[in-house]
Structure 1
Amino acid sequence: MIKCVAIDDEPIALSIIEEYCKRYGDVELQCFTSPVSGMECVRATRPDIVFLDIEMNSHNGIELAAELPQGTCLIFTTAFSQYALDGFNVDAVDFLHKPIFYPRFERAMEKAGKFIRPAWQDDDPGSLALKAEHKTVIVGLKDIILIEAMDNYVKVYRKDKPMLMSQITMKEMESVLPSDRFVRVHRSYIVSTAAIERFSNRTIYLRNHPRPIPVGRKYIQAFNNLSNIFQPK
């Protein structure tokens, strides 16, 4: 869960950020029209991301930025583009110019994710953040049974949970999965070793999955190397 605080003296601007955070998914957001109350919350809760307006009636966001706790990811939101350079001078990750449209908001969140992901994923090293249906979904590695390629998407089959479709390639997926828990056995399949019920040189049968999975010719040796040390339960 990504924890965020938004500070803006315009309620409409806050409602837009709130709507976009819900659409993005896996975001916990607190909104404040009062800069004083908002900064008190930031200091008390130390959120991952702060959305901060620059020109508010009683405060200047550039000055408030200097008071943020170390390590806070800052995204400025403002209707005044002339502040962009000032924003980056205080180490803002991004600068959203109002009116903010969702694709631009999503890019800002992805940029912020590169800074905060190590911190919030370390809380649960057994999970993976995937984009699914325009939302970010945290998937437990222990729940994954099988990953199947489908063009530039993958289908993620999970134990006792709905299948997810995520826009990521098999190569990218293989690179982020722990190699001691997952093995690619075919150009179209990655399997969880914990889900393997039985296997032969060319076929794998998984628990909680009805279809046998073929072992591709290119991957036979790699799978055989694994099967030498794998002991089905």
Structure 2
Amino acid sequence: MLSRYDDVEIVAEAGNIAAARSLIDQLDPDAIFLDAELTGETGFELARSLPPRTVVIIVSAHDNYAINAFDIAAIDFLVKPVAPLRLETAIERLRDKMSTLNGQSTVIGAAPANGTGTKILVKTTSASMMVAARTITLLKAEGDYTRIFLQSHQSHLVSNLLRKFEPELPSPPFHRLSRSLIVNMDHIEKVEWETTSSCRLHFVSCSETVTLGRAGTRRLRELLRI
């Protein structure tokens, strides 16, 4: 399935963790499609030992591993048998991640194929600024305003309704989980399932946490396919 993507080169395959570690040391791959269950071991043990620059996509026949995937900061979780459209989404996330890691950015005014820009205009009472979408962790409605939380631990209160930003943000990784919340799924570090109808989100490089109710939790489960 990966062979149809011209910008993806399969450099090696491994059937166990020992072989994988050896190949990773030799080849230093940009990304790894990692099975959750290997002979006598789990792929998560390997993932935790990888350098931060190595991108991980978990592939498994068991959807109960989705939370483990968040714990090791995998950029996606694919359930076997993998649907072609679902793989395409994972590849798009991989491209975005690699662009970020390689320090590449799109010129302001240019737009990717889905028609959404890589930067958005943020106007506060004291300043106007162009903010790279990939640096935004979440957007939360506060009455007639929107608070934008960045991975730098900063936040900005903007005099625009939340719905104004939705068409400007690339999806994926941004998804509206409730009427008052848009989340960058790539920034989620951990999901705590508090009940069957509620959960709490923790983010990478952002101290803000978010509790989702029934509708938001259902939407999140749909996106995670769990």
TM-score range, shorter chain: 0.3 to 0.5
TM (norm. structure 2) is: 0.44
TM (norm. structure 1) is: 0.43
Q: Which has the higher helix share?
A: 1
